[in-house]
Amino acid sequence: MATGDAIGEQRNFNKGVAGTNDNVAETGTLLVFVRMGGIADQTGTRVANLDDAILKLNRFGGTTPERQAVLIGTLVGAVATTTANLGSATNIGHYKQAQFLIDVTATGGSTATLTVYVDSRLDGTTYMNLAAAAVMTTASRQIVQIQKEFNANNSTIITGEAGAGTIRNVGFADDLQVRYTISGATSTIDARVWVNLIG
């Protein structure tokens, strides 16, 4: 290699939207192509000299990927039902933390209750229940947080649903699914469920 030859290329990037004077949206993730020089990218994969890699910059300009305010699903005037699917988030295996915001905006009738469940398919095929939110009976908000990293090893037998307000110590895989149950024969629920994903 001749003196002065470079095996990598370093560039400075501003947190802007290409072709505009706008800043990156607070809820966005900026994808940046960077020419790497024989170092590991953010997924831990070693890249060859001068190969292009994609870095995901969060709204603070860091390389921790984030996806914020992803709407899983909405209930409008939902009536009593056994467990039904609300929605899912897929291809999220590279994130380490998922924060679900359950926002009940209105209830109707009498004795309306909403329970939200979070599942993941750890084997890529069959969903298993990871968490059950606390039962909600009025217009209110709740956050359910699931992480992949824990302080101790753990063995968990999963049979059926977790109890209300319980988060199982098992992390999550590439796909997450949200289900719900509403009880109360004459009750209705208006609600939304969002997820924030943090790498």
> Per the structure block, which two tokens stand in for 82?
């056994």
Based on the domain organization, do 20 and 56 belong to the same domain? yes
Residue 179's pLDDT is 97
Based on the domain organization, do 74 and 113 belong to the same domain? yes
> Per the structure block, which two tokens stand in for 187?
């009750």
CATH number at residue 133: 2.60.120
> Per the structure block, which two tokens stand in for 196?
């924030």
Residue 24's pLDDT is 45
Residue 90's pLDDT is 87
For residues 53-62, one letter each, b for 16 or more C-beta atoms within 10 angstroms of the residue's C-beta and e for the rest, the string is bebbbbbeee
pLDDT per residue as tens digits for the range 15-41? 444 444 444 444 455 555 444 444 444
CB hemisphere CA count around 192 (13 angstroms) = 6
Based on the domain organization, do 52 and 83 belong to the same domain? no
- Dihedral of alpha carbons 13, 15, 17, 19, sign: negative
Residues 76, 105: Cα–Cα separation, whole Å: 9
Residue 199's pLDDT is 78
Residue 5's pLDDT is 40
Residue 52 pLDDT greater than 60, yes or no: no
* Average model confidence (pLDDT) across the chain: 76
Based on the domain organization, do 122 and 47 belong to the same domain? no
Q: How far is CA 77 from CA 88, 106, 143, 191, in A?
A: 21, 9, 22, 9
Task: Please identify which residue in the block is written with the tokens 């998922």.
Answer: 98
Domain boundary among 12, 40, 64: 64
> Per the structure block, which two tokens stand in for 134?
């606390």
Q: Which range of residues forms the domain containing residue 46?
A: 1-64
Please state the domain count of the chain: 2
Based on the domain organization, do 36 and 111 belong to the same domain? no
Residue 75's pLDDT is 96
Query: What is the mean predicted confidence (pLDDT) over 154-170?
Result: 82
Based on the domain organization, do 54 and 118 belong to the same domain? no
